[in-house]
């Protein structure tokens, strides 16, 4: 059995049985890119000259529609394979304009095979005639785990095009990581219960306290979906504990079994009690953290709290402390962008490290101290990513500011093994945080102007043009 079912074999079989276009799901970006390299070498995947010409025309139409930079599209490493074979890799490591191009080509029916990671199933709507699943597990933060019923439904749900196919096909490609029996069992499971990702974050609390009291906040939190679901789960645990107590009183059991059941009952009751209080405890943590950092006094916003409430970002505490302590004062545009970028990255992502960062190390030391002080003052709920400092992220953004064009910059990224999509996301997140700082024009006018200039310097084509085009299309639609 194959360790990983070859993309060339899948493509040839689907083509023979008239099951194209198809989406081939892989578990990693590297697999997607390797599949494209393999397909590029296969003679059986090559389009006829007339088909290639037709595909080129469609590519140009998409470029014109979204006003994309032609040079960036044509210089993409996978562009020759796209035209030659009508296949492309779609994953978060790709630049937005490339992903958008593939989505449009798939929607127009001219892309024969899209190799994608499973995450694309949840975020993009472009069905195909056939979907091929190549793994029954998925990589998570804690290693590999079995795919959920909802994830399988999202992937298999891409099979079948409205108005073109009377039926869609979902195929499982066998390998040591892809067992059709396991996937069949997953398909029988009901969807996962609805979960709420809401919590009373410091940013939310600051904004609401401009118009409401602390008591109002407690009432709002108690009526939230998160509280409702917690109460529901607490009721279930309490019910199970009562059933166990009833069984324990009516059935005879040896002392060891009785102790084990009593221990389980106590654990269930403690968990139920904790769930009933969880959302209010999260709110209290935010209130306590804000008070320790000087944003609140006796449940009301201080002067610092009022201007910090304008920073509608997950980094509100870190940015507010940096501003209040004067770290961002009298900085050059590049320095401000670098400092903000240093706390805007995603952990475990690779950023540029092949050049020395031009920003003073003392600035980063002070930023790290701010991060540590905020962490000591405010305890985040479990599962929420901690803020970390990445000098490589700062180097990446400064390098982009200094680059003449994305083509030049992309060459450096490929040399360093850095994914363009990860860098685009870093730049976008940094620009969002800078935009929030630029809103402080009433209390910190010079800093706001510097932040606005920094944002304009990093949010330039191609990172801005496709975003603007898609937003315009949404408004017109």
Q: What is the pLDDT of residue 448?
A: 98
**pLDDT at residue 61 is higher than 50:** yes
- Between helix 420-438 and helix 391-402 the angle, nearest 10°, is 90
Question: For the segment 174-184, what is each residue's pLDDT rounded down to a tens digit?
Answer: 888 899 999 99
Q: What is the pLDDT of residue 474?
A: 46
* Residue 13: band (very low, low, confident or very high) from pLDDT cuts 50, 70, 90: very high
Question: For the segment 360-371, what is each residue's pLDDT rounded down to a tens digit?
Answer: 999 999 999 999
Q: What is the pLDDT of residue 251?
A: 75
CA distances from 288 to 32, 282, 285, 294 (A): 46, 10, 5, 10
Mean pLDDT across 418-441: 97
Question: For the segment 207-238, what is each residue's pLDDT rounded down to a tens digit?
Answer: 999 999 999 999 999 999 999 999 999 999 99
**pLDDT at residue 127 is higher than 90:** no
Determine if residue 258 is left, alpha or beta; phi over 0 gives left, psi from -120 to 50 gives alpha, anything else beta.
Answer: alpha
Chain position carrying tokens 């980063």: 364
Chain position carrying tokens 């804690």: 142
Written as six digits, the tokens of 1 are 């059995």
Q: What is the pLDDT of residue 163?
A: 86
Q: Are 70 and 97 in contact (CB under 8 A)?
A: no
Q: What is the CA radius of gyration of the chain?
A: 27
Written as six digits, the tokens of 288 are 């306590």
Q: Count of residues for the chain? A: 477
- Candidates 312, 319, 374; CA nearest to 341 is 319
Question: For the segment 258-269, what is each residue's pLDDT rounded down to a tens digit?
Answer: 888 899 999 999
The CATH classification number of 7-188 equals: 3.40.50.300
* Residue 472: band (very low, low, confident or very high) from pLDDT cuts 50, 70, 90: very low
Query: What are the residue ranges of CATH 1.10.3380.30 in the chain?
Result: 310-476
Q: Which helix (H) or strand (E) holds 62?
A: helix 49-66
* Residue 465: band (very low, low, confident or very high) from pLDDT cuts 50, 70, 90: low
**pLDDT at residue 5 is higher than 90:** no
CA distances from 341 to 129, 179, 396 (A): 42, 43, 9
Q: What is the pLDDT of residue 468?
A: 53
Query: What are the residue ranges of CATH 3.40.50.300 in the chain?
Result: 7-188
SS3 160: coil
Give the C-alpha separation, 182 to 14, whole Å: 23
**pLDDT at residue 254 is higher than 90:** no
SS3 212: coil
More confident residue, 293 or 193: 293
- Candidates 95, 97, 111; CA nearest to 67 is 97
More confident residue, 125 or 221: 221
Read off the DSSP letter of residue 381: P
**pLDDT at residue 473 is higher than 70:** no
**pLDDT at residue 321 is higher than 50:** yes
Written as six digits, the tokens of 117 are 């990671």
Give the C-alpha separation, 347 to 192, whole Å: 27
Written as six digits, the tokens of 43 are 């003679």
> In the predicted model, what is the mean pLDDT of the chain?
92
- Candidates 19, 257, 28, 283; CA nearest to 135 is 28
Question: For the segment 265-309, what is each residue's pLDDT rounded down to a tens digit?
Answer: 999 999 999 999 999 999 999 999 999 999 999 999 999 999 999
**pLDDT at residue 149 is higher than 90:** yes
Q: What is the pLDDT of residue 403?
A: 95
Helix locations, 209-315, DSSP H: 214-222, 225-250, 255-292, 303-308
Read off the DSSP letter of residue 298: T
* Residue 31: band (very low, low, confident or very high) from pLDDT cuts 50, 70, 90: very high
Q: What is the pLDDT of residue 235?
A: 97
Give the C-alpha separation, 163 to 386, whole Å: 47
Q: What is the pLDDT of residue 195?
A: 87
Q: Are 237 and 258 in contact (CB under 8 A)?
A: no
Give the C-alpha separation, 58 to 64, whole Å: 10
Q: What is the pLDDT of residue 464?
A: 81
Give the C-alpha separation, 73 to 105, whole Å: 13
Q: What is the pLDDT of residue 122?
A: 65
User: Count of H helices and E strands in the chain?
Assistant: 22, 9
**pLDDT at residue 83 is higher than 90:** yes
Q: Are 304 and 216 in contact (CB under 8 A)?
A: no
Q: Are 327 and 367 in contact (CB under 8 A)?
A: yes
Q: Which helix (H) or strand (E) holds 171?
A: strand 169-172
Written as six digits, the tokens of 208 are 């609401």
Within 10 Å of residue 33's Cβ, how many Cβ atoms?
19
Q: β-pairing, 143-146 with 137-140?
A: antiparallel
Q: Is the pTM of this model over 0.75?
A: yes
Fold of 310-476: Sec63 N-terminal domain-like fold (1.10.3380)
Residue 408 phi/psi, 5-degree rounding, is: -65, -45
Chain position carrying tokens 């709290």: 305
Q: What is the pLDDT of residue 476?
A: 43
Q: What is the pLDDT of residue 141?
A: 67
């Amino acid at each position: 059995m194959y360790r990983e079912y070859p993309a060339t074999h899948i493509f040839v079989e689907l083509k023979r049985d008239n099951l194209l276009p198809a989406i081939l799901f892989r578990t990693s970006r590297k697999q997607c890119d390797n599949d494209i390299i393999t397909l590029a070498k296969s003679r059986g995947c090559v389009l006829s000259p007339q088909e290639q010409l037709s595909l080129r025309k469609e590519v140009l139409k998409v470029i014109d529609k979204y006003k994309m930079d032609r040079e960036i599209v044509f210089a993409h490493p996978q562009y020759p394979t796209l035209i030659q074979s009508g296949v492309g890799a779609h994953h978060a490591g790709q630049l937005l304009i490339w992903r958008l191009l593939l989505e449009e080509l798939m929607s127009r029916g001219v892309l024969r095979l899209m190799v994608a990671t499973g995450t694309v199933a949840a975020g993009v709507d472009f069905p195909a005639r056939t979907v091929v699943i190549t793994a029954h597990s998925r990589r998570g933060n804690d290693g590999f785990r079995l795919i959920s019923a909802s994830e399988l439904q999202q992937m298999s749900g891409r099979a079948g095009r409205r108005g073109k196919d009377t039926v869609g096909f979902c195929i499982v490609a066998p390998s040591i990581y892809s067992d059709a029996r396991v996937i069949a069992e997953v398909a029988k499971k009901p969807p996962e219960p609805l979960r709420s990702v809401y919590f009373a974050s410091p940013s939310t609390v600051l904004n609401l306290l401009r118009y409401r009291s602390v008591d109002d906040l407690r009432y709002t939190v108690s009526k939230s979906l998160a509280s409702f679901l917690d109460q529901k789960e607490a009721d279930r645990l309490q019910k199970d504990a009562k059933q166990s107590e009833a069984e324990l009183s009516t059935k005879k059991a040896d002392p060891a079994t009785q102790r084990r059941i009593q221990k389980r009952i106590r654990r269930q009751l403690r968990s139920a009690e904790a769930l009933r209080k969880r959302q209010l405890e999260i709110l209290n943590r935010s209130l306590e953290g804000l008070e320790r950092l000087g944003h609140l006094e006796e449940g009301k916003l201080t002067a610092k709290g009022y201007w910090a409430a304008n920073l509608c970002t997950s980094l509100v505490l870190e940015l507010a402390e940096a501003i209040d302590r004067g770290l961002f004062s009298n900085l050059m545009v590049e320095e401000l962008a670098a400092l903000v970028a240093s706390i805007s990255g995603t952990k475990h992502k690779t950023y540029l490290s092949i050049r020395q960062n031009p920003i003073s190390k003392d600035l980063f030391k002070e930023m790290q101290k701010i991060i540590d002080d905020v962490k000591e003052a405010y305890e985040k709920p479990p599962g929420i990513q901690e803020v970390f400092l990445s000098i490589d992220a700062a180097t990446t953004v400064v390098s982009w500011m200094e680059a003449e064009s994305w083509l030049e910059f992309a060459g450096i990224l490929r040399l360093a093994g850095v994914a363009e999509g990860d860098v685009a996301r870093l730049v976008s997140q940094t620009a969002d945080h800078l935009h929030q700082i630029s809103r402080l024009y009433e209390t910190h006018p010079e800093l706001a102007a510097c932040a606005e200039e920094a944002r304009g310097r990093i949010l330039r084509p191609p990172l801005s043009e496709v975003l603007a085009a898609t937003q315009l299309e949404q408004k017109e639609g």
